Structure 1
Amino acid sequence: MCYPSRWVVAFVGLLGGAATTRGADPTDHFEAKVRPVLVQHCIKCHGPEKQKGGLRLDSKTGWQTGGESGPSLVPGKPAESLLIKALSGADGVSQMPPNGKLTAAEIAALEQWVKDGAVDPRMGGPARLGGVTAAEAKDWWSFRSVIRPAVPKSAGTNAIDAFIRAKLAGANLNLSPAADKRTLIRRATYDLTGLPPTPQEIEAFLKDDSPEAFAKVVDRLLASPAYGERWGRHWLDLVRYADTAGENSDHPLPHAWRYRNWVIDAVNRDVPYDEFLRDQLAGDIVAARNPNEKYAPRVVATGFLALARRFGHDIDKDIHLTYEDTIDTVGKAFLGLTIGCARCHDHKYDAITAKDYYALYGILDSTKFAFPGCEPQQRPRDLVPLMPPAEWDRVVKPYKDKLANLDAQQAHLRAEQTKLVRELKARAETTGRVLARGEIPDGGEQVFDKLPAEIEVRAGQFLQLSVTPLKNHGADSTLIEWDIAEVGGKERRWNLTADVLDDLLAGNPHGDTHGNKRVWWFLDTRDGPIPLSESARDLSGKPGLNAWRNGDTPSVFANCAKEPAPVWTKLPGRSVFVHPGPNGNVAVGWLSPVDGKIRITGRIRDAHPGGPDGVGWVLERFTGERGADLLAVAGKSEKQQALERERAALVGSAPVQDVAFAVMESTPHDVKVHLRGDPEKLGPVVPRRWLEVFGGELLPAKAGSGRLELAGWITAKNNPLTARVMVNRIWLHHFGKGLVKTPNDFGARGSAPSHPELLDWLASEFVEKKWSVKALHRQIMLSATYQQASVLRPDAAKIDANNDLYWRFDRRRLSGEELRDSLLTASGQLDRKPGGAHPFPPEASWSYSQHVPFSTFYESDKRSVYLISVRNRRHPFLGLFDGADPNATTPQRQDTTVPTQALYFLNDPFFHGQSEKVAAHALAKPEPARLDELFRAAFQRTPTAKEQDAANAFLKRYTATLTETPPADRTKAAWAALARVLLASNEFLYLD
């Protein structure tokens, strides 16, 4: 803002004077003492040219609005005003001006001004919204209401042609003649399905001379499942679809495919566009309010939000960047606005403020996004169930009832067993005698070398070897070797390893090699001798590493294999081990089956050195008859094991609910502005609301996150952007360029529409036809504008070189997906069944990191829309042929021509393989029909006489060069080479 120099001259001399006395006119004080200070020291950095910290001081509105830290003045309270604090650098506020402090008199004048109410007669300029004034925003072409224009008078019945012809007439141009029928059906079929027409479809169209012939083709193509795959891909480009998360380890998203397939299905069903958008923003909310058959699809639809890119190492810490990605995508894809530019400050060019951005941010922060996993937290979480809670409760109730019954039975058995164990433990205190005890240090071992030479036993008596942790639980895997030899009698032997190793899991208690049952016992002795009840096979995935255990510990386990097992340590083969619990003993017991004398030998060794200490051990003999007591306890354990097996089987067959990578409601709340976009520096709270330029409507009370209201604001019929943006996209994908050439930017930095009346007519027609995309396709494709030939007309090119007026149809190259799908179609290898989930590794095995991220591409003969999309590594084929970037919204594909594309056709195994299959199909025909078959596969037509001569000459020349190829293979090689020539030709790659 400029001020007449007379103000400065008149009042600068007064700055040194005393502050106005109480009762002086506040306006006079402002003009005499305040305005000159602001002009001299503040406006340069906080005026119309520059607004440091988002603050303007050239008008009353400026300081009332404030900057990133909120309003800069509190009238009547100078001590609470940021501007006054900044003059002296008080309370940690940066001193202003930064290059020199104001004089005491200047500061006093400003303090008095604020104390007196901060009277400010400056009205300043007009109110501003972001980079424009409110009046400019209201008058911006894309913010004006859509008003259906009158259709220009013109021959014909299609309104599109009337608008196009009117523009052409102004440049003394006219439409080109219609394309020939073969060109037209090929154009339409690729346009709507991304695939070539079959020879039979072409033949039928050529024979149909009715006026409705092309309309019937359009309707047939719109009804094809391939239509949704083609136009669904356009939407997936726009919403940056991917099958990985995008953070530094690029975690897989195993359920993302559900959203991809939902888009394809919704497009095929011609779901009204307003409903299509609403479900992607708030489908879960709509589904919860009225559960029906659409519940699961609506939940899946919110995958649009959940698929936002993740950032960094620990993605929860960078969630603000995920929200930015979402806001940016919603703004560009749905509204044609670059809302993301307002994250750090008001938009520099458009009517979007930082407060607008954080009003939408609060809606997202009140939403729970599915978590994909990341390097420090590998497992996904917060996936969204696909069944209404009440329905799921009904499904799962029988299972829960059975589970509760089993749990009750187990609790009853445990209580009975506890009573038996207590009685057994009490009797053991009077009948037990220690035979030997010791402690082994870390990495050490001990043998049983201080036992009596002979020990008398009776059938039913019990020997128990207990291993206990020391204070640091240093030895966790302890080797046990225990041998018992009968002295006299039949001189039988019982060896722990030999008796149990080959069939450890046969039972606990375990038999011996003499046919005696229940001789060896594996016990948890922390609260009494209770048989270990849980069996486990192939621990850590190692065959032959089996165990009896209670939880993870205590346990008795064995490496039954001959080779050492490398697990937590290297366990020697054919060995038995025990692992005490951190809070108590584990024991191996021998229940004597004989009366007589025995000799005991054995050893204990730390099998996993490295802890601060080893283990203690004690060998006890219980002289009383314990067999009946132990068998009673074992009986309870066996019943518990049976119940546990039944329970495990029940859990294994439990109902499993499908889930989606989607979003759900969270705790609703408003958020604070992130000053300069930094989440660590917070400004004032912003209520959740709609964009201010469109009214700034606040959320109603108890609205939840606000996503449903946001969807309503975006799809409201009076929203001037949504319909305009979408019809422009549809036009773009039909003609190769939009009526607005910047499809994601309808703001000040974007292009104005080339045909504004046509754009508004299409937008109003779109809404009037209940947001039907298929109806819009028909309107466009049945126009003479769409059906024009693509032949260049030099006279017209001199006037309109870029064909901005649509005096012909622009030729285009096939997209990467169309090219790959066409190659598979030509070779007969295309799998037309819809794609499903990708074969990702099980989530339990994930250990992706920044250094070893997920980066696998899965081979498939399905349509290219179903190929895996990896965010941090482009698909080799689609990356080469200009596929969409899955990290950002792609409104329009690039169209590059680079040497590596030509090299692809020369060298790529996939291309060569398809060419060989095309040639093989041709060679399967009688010789006179082979060239016809080859040309039909490539171009859906037969060759001309000139082409036949050229092809035969090529085959003859090429065959002559194959001197090192066996004669039997030369024909195949030559025809494969000819197939490569055709499949790499412009007629195959380009569409007229």
Structure 2
Amino acid sequence: MNYKITTVLVLLAIIVGLYTYKTGVFEFDNDEYASLSFPETVDYNFHIKPILSDNCYTCHGPDANKRKAGLRLDDQESALSELPESPGHFAIVPKNLRESKAYQAILSEDPTTQMPPADSKLSLSAYEKKLIKKWIEQGAQFEKHWAYIPPEKLSLPQTKSTWGNNEIDAFILKKLEEHNLVPSDKASNETLIRRISLDLTGLPPDPESVTQLLAPASQDTIAHIIDTFLASPAYGERMTQSWLDVARYADSHGYQDDSYRTMWPWRDWVIHAFNKNLPYDTFLTWQLAGDLLPNPTKEQILATGFNRNHPITQEGGVIQEEYRVNYVLDRTNTLGKGILGLTLECARCHDHKYDAISQKDYFEMFAFFNQVDEKGLQMDAVQAKNQAFFADPPFIEISAAETNGVLSFINMKDTPKINVMVMNDSAPKTTYILNRGEYDQPIDSVLPNTPKSIFAFPDNLPKNRLGLAQWLTDQKHPLTARVFVNRIWAMLFGKGLVETVEDFGVQGSLPTHPELLDWLAVDFMEHGWDIKYLLKKIMLSATYQQKSELRPDLKQADPENIWWARAPRFRMSGEMIRDYILATSGLLNQEIGGPSVKPYQPPGLWEETNAGGNRGVLTNYIQDEGADLYRRSLYTFWKRTLPPPNMTIFDAPTRDFSEVRRQKTNTPLQALVLQNDVQILEAARVLAQNLVHKDPKGKEYVTDVFRLILVRSPKAQELAALTNYYQDALKGYRERPAEAEKLIAAGEYRRLETDAAKTAALMLTAQVIYNLDETITKE
């Protein structure tokens, strides 16, 4: 190459380099980006805010007390204004990288100026820096947080394929096509009916329903099956099970003494409300403020037990005001996590570090719940047996009297009075912001109000819990419908369109299908907040009805099933597993409602958690007998300091506070429960003895057990393996009859006169099937 030309090129490179260094216009041309595609338009909510929230908001976010340099990057006005500590300079200047000091600080390698600072242990990737660069070049447009923008029902997207049954599928298919994916085939009829039954009733389908769907299937047939399960009383129980976590329901008070409380009539009301398909806006209003409705009914007052489900101390010598404040804090936090999908509790001690919720906002919300008369919380409650509080219709066949926040029920069928805690506002009480959230450090007084960043409280609403409920259920509210629709999606699919179903704030997950989430939320409200309508809409979609098989292409392209090119497959909850086993064995007691029961439990556990004798209330675990041993897990007595251990092993929460999303773990203890728990051994024994008793010379025992448990016929290989196992076990028990007798003594359910060896061998076979992954999995 000519020397002069080479020199010119070098000089040009130096000049370009100097200009790039001086202006901060760095280009990222390394190999790291050879395979990355950047969005044509950088979106603030979906691309920029997550970066700023993770790396910048701790020092430059909503929390005024922790804010540094007077810079707030979560607010457009502040972010684009002159820097208070550096006059004439700006953190972000739209379309001007050189003058955007925040961008320059992000690129800086000087420890004294770089952002985030070195001691924060935070840093932006080159990809994130390039996104911010492009965002500033495009004008640095800010937006309100996506979850605070009222949802809109956009037009359905245009797709290349015609796949799908309803509007849901259009949104799903659009994303699949964008990622070069195709949906899976429809699930088999056996799989589909089992899936629908588990989702809507929490129980496996009965043989008649299976036979019905195995006829030539159509969407009309499936719609009829869905309607049948929605009309089942078990539907209300299934829906209530998940609501109890949100409502932190328990049968004991919690704290150290953890003595008995009677709240099961409220739980039974929830079952009743779901079965009557009470609209979700009404469902919320009654629970938050049923007592404030004009001429409230007994049912509306009972519903407010939702606000009383929090732990309550029974200990002597405590500071009553400290605990009273804790109860109000709990109600506020439950509203945040359970209904709004926000971490309100983070603003108790200081302004929220990530979401635009100040400490003042928090205590203004707190004020709605700070008027309740807390008297009567330590009450004497008599456990009544076998009471059905709900007729259909009318509501309940009782008389009721409300006194000091306690609703007293007297059943007309000769049973004792039952006291249930409900809401009962007292004289107006002044609410204060509490310094660091401490009960004894009041600062400024506040009135009931809601955060303007979410949705301003309308002037025409009363400043009480009823007004709060009306604010929540306003059609323009950006969160309430979205959060509930997302929770229903998570119930059916294992995870929500927003994976953090409990957190729609800045630190929560972004929706994978925001347009679909908004469409469903608006459609839900347009149809009167009808929960059954919402469930049916989703279940009729081709998305819901796909196979769950992980195809090779999906294993590579979408291993987490983010885009829903297949149906999900996940382990059922501990309650569902127990109920499934009871139902398939024929043991399940399907009685609805009534006091909580105490099934099998390892001895000595309650005694270990008791403090000071517990005044004799819950000192000893007295196991129930007869049919009560086989009631649905929904009715199992829930002691906060020791929840049902087998359900805890399968990730059930303590219910000390509101929980929306349970953990999903896989541990050896879970396998040990399935292999050794007396209730499961008993279920296998009863299933076996019923088959042998019905047909002593039966030749299809293994096939029958398989069908009853898994709702499908066994494949040839499966049948051969299980038959060999059964025959080997039968031979062994013929030789050792004493062992057979010992095995089939499991549990308290009555023995039938059967061939002991056959029963024991078939019992073991049933237990093997109960331990299969397929049995405890919804797919």
1:882 Cα deviation (Å)?
1.9
Provide, for residues 88-122 of structure 1, a one-character-per-residue CA deviation record: whole Å limited to 9, x for no partner: xxxxxxxxxxxxxxxxxxxxxxxxxxxxxxxxxxx
Alignment partner of 2:423 out of 655, 660, 663: 663
Alignment partner of 2:261 out of 233, 253, 257: 253
The reply to whether residue 932 of structure 1 matches residue 693 of structure 2 is no
1:380 Cα deviation (Å)?
6.8
1:698 Cα deviation (Å)?
7.8
1:913 & 1:713 partners in 2: Cα distance?
Answer: 51
Structure 1 pair 169–136 and aligned structure 2 pair: CA distance change class (3 A):
closer
Larger relative contact order (Cα-Cα within 8 Å, sequence gap ≥ 6): 1
1:975 & 1:666 partners in 2: Cα distance?
Answer: 63
Conservation of the 8 A alpha-carbon contact between 2:253 and 2:261: yes
Please identify the structure whose Cα radius of gyration is greater: 1
Structure 1 pair 204–341 and aligned structure 2 pair: CA distance change class (3 A):
same
1:157 Cα deviation (Å)?
5.0
The reply to whether residue 329 of structure 1 matches residue 338 of structure 2 is no
User: TM-score scaled to structure 2, two decimals?
Assistant: 0.71
Alignment partner of 1:153 out of 153, 158, 169: 158
- SS of 1:954's partner is helix
Unaligned runs of 5+ in 2: 1-57, 72-139, 383-388, 391-397, 402-411, 599-608, 741-754
1:656 Cα deviation (Å)?
8.1
Provide, for residues 275-323 of structure 1, a one-character-per-residue CA deviation record: whole Å limited to 9, x for no partner: 111111000111xx234xxx11111110110112235833734121222
Supply the AA of the counterpart residue of 1:851: G
The reply to whether residue 786 of structure 1 matches residue 573 of structure 2 is no
1:250 & 1:948 partners in 2: Cα distance?
Answer: 50
Conservation of the 8 A alpha-carbon contact between 1:363 and 1:668: no
Conservation of the 8 A alpha-carbon contact between 2:60 and 2:67: no
Alignment partner of 1:876 out of 645, 660, 665: 645
Alignment partner of 1:303 out of 305, 323, 326: 305
1:58 Cα deviation (Å)?
5.5
Structure 1 pair 693–917 and aligned structure 2 pair: CA distance change class (3 A):
same
1:251 Cα deviation (Å)?
2.0
The reply to whether residue 728 of structure 1 matches residue 486 of structure 2 is yes
Provide, for residues 206-231 of structure 1, a one-character-per-residue CA deviation record: whole Å limited to 9, x for no partner: 11444411111111111111111111
1:770 Cα deviation (Å)?
0.7
Alignment partner of 1:886 out of 655, 660, 668: 655
Alignment partner of 1:266 out of 258, 273, 287: 273
The reply to whether residue 225 of structure 1 matches residue 233 of structure 2 is yes
The reply to whether residue 971 of structure 1 matches residue 742 of structure 2 is no
Alignment partner of 1:913 out of 682, 686, 697: 682
- SS of 2:538's partner is helix
Q: Tell me which residue corresponds to 2:442.
A: 682
1:862 Cα deviation (Å)?
1.1
Structure 1 pair 749–136 and aligned structure 2 pair: CA distance change class (3 A):
farther
Structure 1 pair 136–889 and aligned structure 2 pair: CA distance change class (3 A):
farther
2:581 & 2:59 partners in 1: Cα distance?
Answer: 61
Provide, for residues 231-264 of structure 1, a one-character-per-residue CA deviation record: whole Å limited to 9, x for no partner: 111111222111111121112112x111111111
1:681 & 1:655 partners in 2: Cα distance?
Answer: 47
Q: Tell me which residue corresponds to 1:366.
A: 371
Q: Tell me which residue corresponds to 2:531.
A: 773
Conservation of the 8 A alpha-carbon contact between 1:306 and 1:370: no
Q: Tell me which residue corresponds to 2:579.
A: 821
The reply to whether residue 741 of structure 1 matches residue 502 of structure 2 is no
Q: Tell me which residue corresponds to 1:277.
A: 284
- SS of 2:272's partner is helix
* CA RMSD in angstroms, aligned pairs only: 3.3
The reply to whether residue 941 of structure 1 matches residue 712 of structure 2 is yes
2:661 & 2:700 partners in 1: Cα distance?
Answer: 41
Unaligned runs of 5+ in 1: 1-45, 60-134, 388-393, 398-651, 841-847
Provide, for residues 152-201 of structure 1, a one-character-per-residue CA deviation record: whole Å limited to 9, x for no partner: 13425511000000010001111111011111111111111110011221
2:364 & 2:528 partners in 1: Cα distance?
Answer: 30
1:885 Cα deviation (Å)?
3.2
Q: Tell me which residue corresponds to 2:246.
A: 238
The reply to whether residue 952 of structure 1 matches residue 723 of structure 2 is yes
Conservation of the 8 A alpha-carbon contact between 1:955 and 1:975: yes
Q: Tell me which residue corresponds to 2:54.
A: none
The reply to whether residue 756 of structure 1 matches residue 514 of structure 2 is yes
2:302 & 2:295 partners in 1: Cα distance?
Answer: 16
Provide, for residues 25-44 of structure 1, a one-character-per-residue CA deviation record: whole Å limited to 9, x for no partner: xxxxxxxxxxxxxxxxxxxx
1:675 & 1:880 partners in 2: Cα distance?
Answer: 39
Structure 1 pair 965–726 and aligned structure 2 pair: CA distance change class (3 A):
same
Conservation of the 8 A alpha-carbon contact between 1:817 and 1:864: yes
Structure 1 pair 253–858 and aligned structure 2 pair: CA distance change class (3 A):
farther
Structure 1 pair 949–298 and aligned structure 2 pair: CA distance change class (3 A):
same
Supply the AA of the counterpart residue of 1:685: S
Q: Tell me which residue corresponds to 1:863.
A: 632
Conservation of the 8 A alpha-carbon contact between 1:245 and 1:253: yes
Alignment partner of 2:192 out of 162, 170, 184: 184
- Give the count of matched residue pairs: 590
Supply the AA of the counterpart residue of 1:965: P
- Within 5 A, what are the aligned runs for 1:369-768? 369=374, 371-373=376-378, 379=380, 659-694=419-454, 696-697=456-457, 703=462, 706-768=464-526
1:370 & 1:183 partners in 2: Cα distance?
Answer: 52
1:335 Cα deviation (Å)?
0.7
Q: Tell me which residue corresponds to 2:775.
A: 988
User: TM-score scaled to structure 1, two decimals?
Assistant: 0.56
Alignment partner of 1:852 out of 608, 613, 627: 613
Supply the AA of the counterpart residue of 1:667: A
Alignment partner of 1:163 out of 163, 167, 171: 171
Alignment partner of 1:143 out of 148, 152, 176: 148
Q: Tell me which residue corresponds to 1:903.
A: 672
Q: Tell me which residue corresponds to 2:38.
A: none
- Within 5 A, what are the aligned runs for 1:347-362? 347-362=352-367
- SS of 1:347's partner is coil
Q: Tell me which residue corresponds to 1:640.
A: none
Provide, for residues 626-658 of structure 1, a one-character-per-residue CA deviation record: whole Å limited to 9, x for no partner: xxxxxxxxxxxxxxxxxxxxxxxxxx9999876
Q: Tell me which residue corresponds to 1:339.
A: 344
Conservation of the 8 A alpha-carbon contact between 1:245 and 1:372: no
2:720 & 2:221 partners in 1: Cα distance?
Answer: 35
The reply to whether residue 834 of structure 1 matches residue 592 of structure 2 is yes
The reply to whether residue 174 of structure 1 matches residue 182 of structure 2 is yes
Higher strand share: 1
